[in-house]
Structure 1
Amino acid sequence: MHTKWKSALLLMLFTTYATFAQQKPNVIVILADDLGYADLGCYGSEIPTPNLDKLAQNGLRLTSFYNTARCCPTRAALLTGVYSHQAGIGHMMEDKGADHPAYRAQLNDKSVTIAEVMKNAGYFTAMTGKWHVGQPHGTVPWKRGFDRSLNAPAGGFYYGAGKGAKLFLDGEELANDSDKLPENWYTTDLWTDFGLRFIDEGIAAKKPFMLYLAHNAPHFPLQAPEEDIARFRGKYRKGYEKLRQERYEKQIRLGLIDPSWKLPPMNPNVPKWESLSQAEKEKYDHMMAVYAAVIYRLDKSIGDLVNGLKKRGVFDNTVILFVSDNGGNAEPGIEGKFEGEKPGSAESSVFIGQGWAEAACTPFWAYKHHTHEGGISSPGIISWPAGIPASRNGKFEKQPAHIIDIMATLADLGGAEYPETFNNQPIQPLEGTSLRPAFTGKPINRKNPLFWEHEGNRAIRDGKWKLVAERSEKWQLYDIDKDRTELVDLSSKYPEVVKELERKYAAWYKRVGAEPYDKDFKWFYDYEKAKNEAASIK
């Protein structure tokens, strides 16, 4: 072939591939575990998270990103684009049997995963991290569309020496000291390491890639390298009340929240910091130092991922979506947990407890399990240098978004078709809405309200209105635009709004197959007492 013709052909092929790459961005969905709304620097935290802060500075921050209030349901909704009850995981990993299709503890065949949809659009699909959507029942990533996977069935560990540590590589159970794994691995780093290895395979195959990176950080049992914990020792002796106030003030300075939204009082079940003994203060300082170290390492892994993408020349055309699965975690109650000779080591078990969970969820009520804002609000960061206009960098996007929107967003970005049938099974229609218009500042045009139900805690958000209640409560109505911290119940002032939202909620509840919840929690949030205190806040 003549040299000029060969050069022209190569130019044409390069242009075609470049156009294809531009039309098909790579996508990485990063899910944190038990990360509260206020736990990142760019959302008000004092914990240094420079890598996530930089993604937010050069991308978008969603101020109203919602999850489902709990781990397994959020993962089900993220993976399928329908509400968790519709996907078969209305609660956690207890299968209630065929008579309760919304509670089968695994993804059903009436839903498709983001991997199955994106794979059909030409994507190389991979996942690393915590699965937790039915592996004991046979629902596994390598059978639900993922070309490659390194996964933990349900998390619960950070080190190979941790209790219950178990890893699967493309379905093969690995010994924790397998030569296929790095020595002395730490899960937060391991997920990123294998994520980049899988990305290399996608690049080699000349395909756009989709990586679902599901961290188990900062879920209990909190564990981190000793030197990282030492960075934070002594920084939390000020106590959880003061920390919460400082985070609230920083959120106002950042422009993240409206200054008119008042900070609710602390949960009255939590003892005042000054009432604690010196030994108790030292213990709680140590607990929070471990938590901060886990988040610090999570952020470091994001930096490693971004640097890896840049070295491979694919960062600019990679969409990164970072969210969390629920609000901060108050389990197992006021005391938290502080077990082991070396707190933060593989043999230890640390939970931060209710006091620090209050700070994690600043400025909102409640936390994980609950459908008040503290339980369902998550940081939401979107980075895409090639697709988000520079004029939007560092902006706050206030339109509400939900975990069910991720499927619709990915399909939109990848030119993928969400199927009506899959493997000869009818597939439920999408519930979510693509967030892509928000990338350029356009309306999302959501057609339906957003709904929540978890353990009998319930909510609906329709425009500015939110109707919400604990399992044992009457409905409360809030104007979320003016009062997102849910301090002024307007239900008696607007009974017609309550009635209409209750009607919509009842129809949704029936449609998704939700059922009454019949268990109590010992660390139940004392709303009545707290709201009596809140009544004095103007």
Structure 2
Amino acid sequence: MLNRLNIRPIPWLSSAALGLLLQHSAAAQTPLPAEVTTSAPNVVIVLLDDVGFGAASTFGGPAQTPGMEALANDGLRFNRFHTTAICSPTRAALLTGRDAHRANVGAVLNTATNRPGYQGILNPHTATVAEMLRNNGYNTAAFGKWHLTQPWETSPVGPFDRWPTGVGFEKFYGFLGGETDQYDPTLYEGTRPVQRPDVDNYHLTEDMSNAAIEWLDMQHSLAPDKPFFLYYATGATHAPLQVPAEWIERYRGKFDQGWDAMREATFKRQKALGVIPKDAILTPRPPQIPVWDSLSDEERKVASRLMETYAGFLAHTDQQVARLANHLKQMGQFDNTLFFYIVGDNGSSAEGGPPGSINYMGALQGLQEPVSAQLAALDKIGDADTYPQYPAGWAWALTTPFQWVKQVASHLGGTRNPLVVTWPNGFEERGGLRNQFSHVNDIAPTILAAAGMEMPETVNGISQLPMDGSSMLSSFASADAAEFHPTQYFEVHGNRAIYHEGWMASARHDRLPWSVGGISGDTSFDDDTWELYNLEADFSQAVDLAAAEPARLAELKHLFNRVAAELQMLPLHSSVDNRQPRPSLAGDRRKVEYYPGTLGVPESQIPRMANNNWKLQASISLDGEASGVIATVGGLSAGWSLYLDEAGRPVFECRIYEVDRIRLSSEAPLAPGENQLELNFAYDGQGYAKGGTFTLSVNGKVLGSARIRASQPSFYTIDETFDLGIDTGSPAGSYPQAAPIGYPLKGAKIGVVALESG
């Protein structure tokens, strides 16, 4: 025994004493497994992205969602469920059970500031429900979108304590940013960048379901007595709207009548289904959104196709959720699974602007393509070569019957989302409707209550703040259950509201929800107009009672200010208009040297290239025939790649959305041995997104130069990365058709790659 363990006897310790010591040591080092009650339910949370209240057919919308319908028939619909009106805050509130600002994620990560509550860094005193469940015997896994880790923490050097696997999830497979390409996503397995599976007709949502089902089977095989918590957060239906063509074709011609008519048709279906009251009022179109009939024939043609793509995208997503639910039934696990289907993390997105776009990342930053370019790509919209988003008019129509859209936290179009809940072992009613006011921060306390768990005072040794949400279990049991969530504030980008016991006071700030790329100015919050609504009598927030009830409005404004002060939201500010310096891996360095193996570095963490001169120098050694990527940043929508083609010739390509693209290449392959490549970009001068000249040199000899009419205004993409030796995510170059995914470098070795700004 001693020899097998390679332990030397201690001279002054007897064999018997040593054996006893080893027994005690083994017992002390073997942690006892966490206990969980045998009746504890499995938990599944499905969270879709950018889906308005009036999008899915289950709630009267135009996109067919039979999977959601089946779950609703097995369970309950909730028609007064609320999110925060934007991505990261909703996810923070969902997973922690706390208000978003208390969790320190009061703004979307892209616009986080240095102020408490808005930093976009999860508060350790608001642990996730995943961590609580894991500590109590659950297996936990997250698939899909995360968007709760700041960019300077998402490189391969971490830190990883705010990645999914650092906050309670034992398994993570998905993407970290706010969006990703559906055909070539920027993927991570645990904390490691990975390429998507090399299969024909790949799509991320299908891959998510495959991976989730595989994990469920593994978990049930190895630990059948352990409950599981599965978080399934799709990139759909956030832009880019990308889905197989057959799903788009199902909706051809369905939206030619326009968004005004679609909104009226949705409103009628909602009443017929009973998901809104018979006396609900359809709110009018805001003047900032054009009348459908004011568009030209060409504009209407493009807009219709973009909406067909969105509807197909949502229908396709629902099918993948249905696969997950059906697999639970096949496993015999469905009846004891508390299944939340949250139809959107906020209202539908107007970030495509009034005209929409076939490459919205450029339009978002002020580089809108002309209608002629949209028409030329009409039949390609939704495929792997486009990065589209629909016009803002469709976003408004998809929030029927409410006012406004995503980002507008003051109004229900931004914050009210459908919810479907099933739990056959947990409640008897099938196909019911619930109208108690509820919020995304109610999900976590509901899970704890269903599992018979108390909210822990500490998690991993860190004291915990109480949850702001309340358990929804009483509403599962009865449609007549009392209200359990009497008060809730809302705030995003200065748009704000307070709900209290049936009444809502709302103040919209001046920024329009498609004005993401610019700064709206210094409009005073004191100039914002407050509105007042009695939501008990006015389901759709249609009748402003501010003038009739000034005293009640004053009370609610006072209540909002009290809550805002507690959550350190005062003085009010719009986080998107108060950009502040944020940590960066590049720091103050104008020049950074990167070594072989560098990949997965967020674009924001390398020396600044936007609106600036910059230079890339690469040392590369060839063993013989060589091909593949040397260095790249960005992807399909915009970015650049320096690579060797299949003949070993150096090539540089840059694409700036639909504005311009250039290609520089050599007629001769690189010679064997050491080679020095240099790429220079000479910016045209002061200003925003100006053009410039690229020059490519090899071993001191200029191969060629080319002008590009514009450059990236702030960033090429928000999710792609800087990589050496391979192109992760979507391709930034036109690589050979038969090349492996990512076009990895072969036949050559990278030495040092230096990127210099200014």
1:243-258 paired onto structure 2 within 5 Å = 243-258=262-277
TM-score, length of structure 1 as denominator length: 0.88
| Whole-angstrom CA distance in 2 between matches of 1:81 and 1:447 | 13
The answer as to 2:135 corresponding to 1:120 is yes
Which residue pairs with 2:118 in the alignment? 103
| Whole-angstrom CA distance in 1 between matches of 2:172 and 2:150 | 13
For CA contacts below 8 A with separation 6 or more, give which structure has more relative contact order.
Answer: 1
Q: Is the 8 A contact 1:158 1:186 kept in 2?
A: no
Is the partner of 1:86 in helix, strand or coil? coil
Q: Is the 8 A contact 2:182 2:205 kept in 1?
A: no
| Whole-angstrom CA distance in 1 between matches of 2:110 and 2:218 | 36
Which of 121, 133, 136 is residue 148 of structure 2 equivalent to?
Answer: 133
The answer as to 2:255 corresponding to 1:199 is no
Q: Name the CA shift for 1:489/1:287 in 2 (closer, same or farther; >3 Å).
A: same
Task: Describe the superposition over 1:218-251 as per-residue Cα deviations: whole angstroms up to 9, x where unpaired.
Answer: 0001100011111112111111111100000001
Which residue pairs with 2:45 in the alignment? 29
Which residue pairs with 2:98 in the alignment? 82
1:307-456 paired onto structure 2 within 5 Å = 307-323=326-342, 324-339=344-359, 341=377, 342-370=380-408, 371-389=410-428, 392-441=429-478, 443=481, 445-446=483-484, 448-456=486-494
Q: Aligned letter for 2:555? A: E
Deviation at 1:26, TM superposition (A): 0.7
Deviation at 1:425, TM superposition (A): 2.2
| Whole-angstrom CA distance in 2 between matches of 1:116 and 1:346 | 37
Q: Is the 8 A contact 2:346 2:406 kept in 1?
A: yes
| Whole-angstrom CA distance in 1 between matches of 2:482 and 2:137 | 26
The answer as to 2:322 corresponding to 1:306 is no
TM-score, length of structure 2 as denominator length: 0.63
| Whole-angstrom CA distance in 1 between matches of 2:384 and 2:178 | 13
Which of 70, 83, 91 is residue 67 of structure 1 equivalent to?
Answer: 83
Which residue pairs with 2:205 in the alignment? 188
Q: Is the 8 A contact 2:111 2:575 kept in 1?
A: no
| Whole-angstrom CA distance in 2 between matches of 1:160 and 1:251 | 34
Deviation at 1:471, TM superposition (A): 2.1
Identity of aligned residues (%): 33
| Whole-angstrom CA distance in 2 between matches of 1:132 and 1:96 | 12
Q: Is the 8 A contact 1:217 1:298 kept in 2?
A: yes
Task: Describe the superposition over 1:352-409 as per-residue Cα deviations: whole angstroms up to 9, x where unpaired.
Answer: 12111121100000000112011001011001122221xx211110001100001101
Deviation at 1:520, TM superposition (A): 7.5
The answer as to 2:573 corresponding to 1:517 is yes
Q: Aligned letter for 1:54? A: A
Q: Is the 8 A contact 1:121 1:414 kept in 2?
A: no
CA RMSD, 1 decimal: 1.9
Task: Describe the superposition over 1:163-221 as per-residue Cα deviations: whole angstroms up to 9, x where unpaired.
Answer: xx31111222212346xxx5543111122211122222332312111101111110001
Q: Aligned letter for 1:425? A: I
Q: Is the 8 A contact 1:120 1:416 kept in 2?
A: no
Larger of the two Rg values belongs to structure: 2
Which residue pairs with 1:49 in the alignment? 65
Task: Describe the superposition over 1:466-523 as per-residue Cα deviations: whole angstroms up to 9, x where unpaired.
Answer: 11111252221110011132222212322222222222211110111224224779xx
Determine which structure has the larger helix proportion and give its number: 1
Q: Is the 8 A contact 1:36 1:326 kept in 2?
A: yes
Q: Aligned letter for 1:113? A: T
Q: Aligned letter for 1:144? A: V
Which residue pairs with 2:189 in the alignment? 169
| Whole-angstrom CA distance in 1 between matches of 2:40 and 2:127 | 20
| Whole-angstrom CA distance in 2 between matches of 1:437 and 1:299 | 28
Q: Name the CA shift for 1:395/1:424 in 2 (closer, same or farther; >3 Å).
A: same
Which residue pairs with 1:479 in the alignment? 534
1:289-304 paired onto structure 2 within 5 Å = 289-304=308-323
| Whole-angstrom CA distance in 2 between matches of 1:81 and 1:408 | 6
Which residue pairs with 1:464 in the alignment? 502
| Whole-angstrom CA distance in 1 between matches of 2:278 and 2:438 | 22
Q: Aligned letter for 1:402? A: H
Determine which structure has the larger strand proportion and give its number: 2
Q: Is the 8 A contact 1:33 1:219 kept in 2?
A: yes
